[in-house]
């Protein structure tokens, strides 16, 4: 019934911070960007492999509940070739990461970092 994920939507609260983080630091390419006057927000579509990330910038969006975790999407995970190398790249760009650990179910390395609004992002081999 479902072939693959078409896109994932993320809401950010600050255009400059989110743009800097996702495009300039993480290196996602902008597919299209639109300002929606009727909503006074931005929608930036980013390329992520065969999928897209819809980055919505909505001023005064309510804060995300992270602790305690709320129902719904828990985090977004990106597959990488090397967690250790990716951590070095992220850290060199000023992005803090949690300690690298092994996923006990996949026996692969993984760790988390956070976007400017506190959304947990995972890298996983």
In 59-100, where do the E strands start and end? 76-79
Predicted TM-score (pTM) of the model is 0.89
Task: Give me the percent of the chain exceeding a pLDDT of 90.
Answer: 81
For 47-64, the pLDDT digits (tens) are 999 999 999 999 888 887
Count CA atoms closer than 13 A to 86's CA, side-chain side.
Answer: 22
Fold for the domain defined by 1-62: 2,3-Dihydroxybiphenyl 1,2-Dioxygenase; domain 1 (3.10.180)
CB atoms within 10 A of CB 66: 14
Q: Between 41 and 60, where is the model more confident?
A: 41
Sequence-distant (≥ 6) Cβ neighbours of residue 107 within 8 angstroms = none
Whether the CB-CB separation of 76 and 119 falls below 8 Å is answered with: yes
For 59-86, the pLDDT digits (tens) are 888 887 777 777 777 889 999 999 999 9
All CATH 3.10.180.10 domain ranges in the chain, comma separated? 1-62, 63-125
Fold for the domain defined by 63-125: 2,3-Dihydroxybiphenyl 1,2-Dioxygenase; domain 1 (3.10.180)
């Amino acid at each position: 019934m479902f072939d693959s994920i078409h896109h994932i939507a993320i809401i950010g609260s600050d255009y400059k911070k989110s743009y800097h983080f996702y495009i300039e630091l993480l290196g996602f390419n902008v597919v299209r960007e639109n300002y929606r006057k009727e909503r006074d927000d931005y929608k930036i579509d980013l390329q992520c492999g065969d999928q897209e990330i819809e980055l919505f910038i909505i001023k005064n969006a309510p804060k995300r509940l992270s602790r305690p975790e709320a129902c719904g999407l828990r985090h977004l995970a990106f597959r990488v070739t090397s967690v250790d190398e990716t951590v070095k790249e992220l850290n060199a760009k000023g992005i803090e990461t949690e300690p690298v650990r092994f996923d006990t179910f996949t026996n692969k390395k993984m760790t988390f970092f956070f976007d400017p609004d506190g959304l947990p992002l995972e890298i996983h081999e």
